[in-house]
Amino acid sequence: MSVTKSRLIQLPKAELHLHIEGTLEPELVFKLARRNGVELPYRDESDLSQQYAFENLQSFLNLYYECMAVLRTREDFADLARSYFAKAKEQGVRHVEMFFDPQAHVSRGVDFDEVVEGLHQAIGEAWTEHGISGGLILSFLRDEPLETAQDVWSKAKERPERFVAVGLDSAEVGFPPGPFAPIFAEARALGLRAVAHAGEEGPPSYINGALDALKVDRIDHGIRAMEDPELVRRLVRDAVPLTVCPLSNVRLGCVQDLADHGLLAMLDEGLIVTVNSDDPAYFGGYVGDNFVAVDSALGLDDATAAQLARNSIRAAFAPTDRKQALLELIDQWEGAA
């Protein structure tokens, strides 16, 4: 491994845009399928891996929901997150705020508490075993009937301390954020923070919609903000961080080539950009790999890499003392150049 590559992977960072179901590697899919007696339409791991050529967001989502069928019990969800944290440790990750999609599990007959408690257990273990802090973002599927989101929320709001934030994901185009405003208002009143996927495939107006209707603290993706100079000024003025996912953008065809990615131009505009992996099992790399890929395609000097990492810490919903400790680690990384 080159010096630059290993340095970028070791750079202390937070991951703020990660779907824990999107860390389900083919090996674990088959292991859990055997454990739970789930029939899969693929012969083996390599047959499954060959399905990972996506034309767009929807073609990815179809496979993503299919593989989730192997996740049944609390232990399955804990194992999923444990296997992610073991990888995250090797990628320089010190703090994770992970999305999970409860509607996708409850609709298959999985108990909401099994999901939450399994993930929560693994988050606690990650702190004691790997020194990685973390939290859960309860994410709503915007393309499912609103009542299914309300059902999940009615369970979640009885235990808001289990979550750091609410989020909004899945198919974007045709599903603007407005209908979720009442749930987000309740969540914010309970002390949760709010984020939403917007401006990935959808137009810049969806980003304005998420800010206006949902009062989000961060925008997930947000790359299409660059099409609207007025919106860019708003995001800079209000210091709204964007959780950008470079390899995901290329795999889903939102950006044709990483060399064309606007990430550095976004930084130049003064936007608070962070680098994240989205669904790393499906998109060809974890967060450190995303830093390495961006460096190969666009070039990252130490100062820019450190800035991206500092942005991820400052944009995190972690306690101030934790953030301060992590920012000091980044100073040390930069000083050791």
Q: Taking CB under 5 A as the rule, does residue 21 contact Zn ion?
A: no
Cβ proximity of 273 and 267 under 8 Å? yes
- Alpha-carbon distance of 39 to 44, in angstroms, equals 12
Site size toward Zn ion (CB under 5 A) is 1
Of the candidates 278, 282, 326, 333, which one interacts with Zn ion according to CB under 5 A? 278
Q: Which stretch binds Zn ion (CB under 5 A): 49-57, 272-280, 291-299, 302-310?
A: 272-280
> Could you tell me how many residues make up the chain?
337
Q: Taking CB under 5 A as the rule, does residue 217 contact Zn ion?
A: no
Please identify, using beta-carbon distances, which residue of 97 and 278 lies nearer to Zn ion. 278
CB atoms within 10 A of CB 181: 14
- Alpha-carbon distance of 20 to 13, in angstroms, equals 17
Give the H/E segment covering residue 166: strand 165-169
Please identify, using beta-carbon distances, which residue of 140 and 333 lies nearer to Zn ion. 140
Q: Taking CB under 5 A as the rule, does residue 172 contact Zn ion?
A: no
Q: Taking CB under 5 A as the rule, does residue 25 contact Zn ion?
A: no
Q: Which stretch binds Zn ion (CB under 5 A): 68-76, 89-97, 271-279, 301-309?
A: 271-279
Please identify, using beta-carbon distances, which residue of 101 and 278 lies nearer to Zn ion. 278
CB atoms within 10 A of CB 253: 14
At closest approach, how far in Å is the CB of 77 from Zn ion? 18
Q: Which residues contact 90 (CB under 8 A, 6 or more apart)?
A: 9, 286, 288
Q: Taking CB under 5 A as the rule, does residue 79 contact Zn ion?
A: no
At closest approach, how far in Å is the CB of 197 from Zn ion? 5
At closest approach, how far in Å is the CB of 282 from Zn ion? 11
Q: In what order do the strands lie in the sheet with 273-275?
A: 13-19, 93-100, 133-141, 165-169, 193-198, 218-221, 242-244, 273-275
- Alpha-carbon distance of 62 to 287, in angstroms, equals 23
- Alpha-carbon distance of 99 to 245, in angstroms, equals 14
At closest approach, how far in Å is the CB of 220 from Zn ion? 6
Q: Which residues are catalytic?
A: 200
Q: Which residues contact 44 (CB under 8 A, 6 or more apart)?
A: 30
Please identify, using beta-carbon distances, which residue of 294 and 306 lies nearer to Zn ion. 294
- Tell me which residue has its CB nearest to Zn ion: 278
Cβ proximity of 14 and 294 under 8 Å? no
- Supply the DSSP symbol for 1: -
Please identify, using beta-carbon distances, which residue of 15 and 278 lies nearer to Zn ion. 278
At closest approach, how far in Å is the CB of 278 from Zn ion? 5
Q: Which stretch binds Zn ion (CB under 5 A): 38-46, 264-272, 274-282, 289-297?
A: 274-282
Q: Which stretch binds Zn ion (CB under 5 A): 52-60, 171-179, 181-189, 273-281?
A: 273-281
Q: Taking CB under 5 A as the rule, does residue 97 contact Zn ion?
A: no
At closest approach, how far in Å is the CB of 277 from Zn ion? 9
Q: Write the CA distances from 287 to 99, 148, 211, 252, 283, integer angstroms.
A: 15, 31, 26, 17, 11
Please identify, using beta-carbon distances, which residue of 243 and 311 lies nearer to Zn ion. 243
Q: Which stretch binds Zn ion (CB under 5 A): 26-34, 51-59, 208-216, 275-283?
A: 275-283
Q: Which chain residues interact with Zn ion by CB under 5 A?
A: 278
